[in-house]
Amino acid sequence: MASLSDGFIALPGGIGTFEELFEIWTWAQLGSHAKPCGLLNILGFYDRLLEFLDHVAAQGFLKKVHREMLLVQEDPVSLLRAMTHYRAPTETKWLKPAET
């Protein structure tokens, strides 16, 4: 199914949604695909998750460029527009020797 998709959108949901979102986002981070990954943050449903992801990035466990790969909008039209203009970063997940 992932190979047939043009992009991925997570709607408000539970643990299964989280698992699928993080898996496909990880694949993008690893360079397995260059498709956009979106989060539809209806009525702020994902606000706390987004705060946590920003914390993870601030602590150095997620590169800023990879945090920014997850496109977030509050309405479907804006999210689809952002996904249309998405370009995958060229920076890899892997650390450089100076970053260890």
User: Contact 30/40 with Cβ under 8 angstroms?
Assistant: no
The answer, as to whether pTM is greater than 0.75, is yes
Q: Quick one: fold of 2-99?
A: Rossmann fold (3.40.50)
Length of the chain: 100
> Could you read off the pLDDT of 25-74 as tens digits, one per residue?
999 998 899 999 999 999 999 999 999 999 999 999 999 999 999 999 99
* Structural Rg of the chain based on CA atoms: 14
> What's the rounded Cα separation, in Å, for the pair 74 and 77?
9
> What's the rounded Cα separation, in Å, for the pair 29 and 11?
20
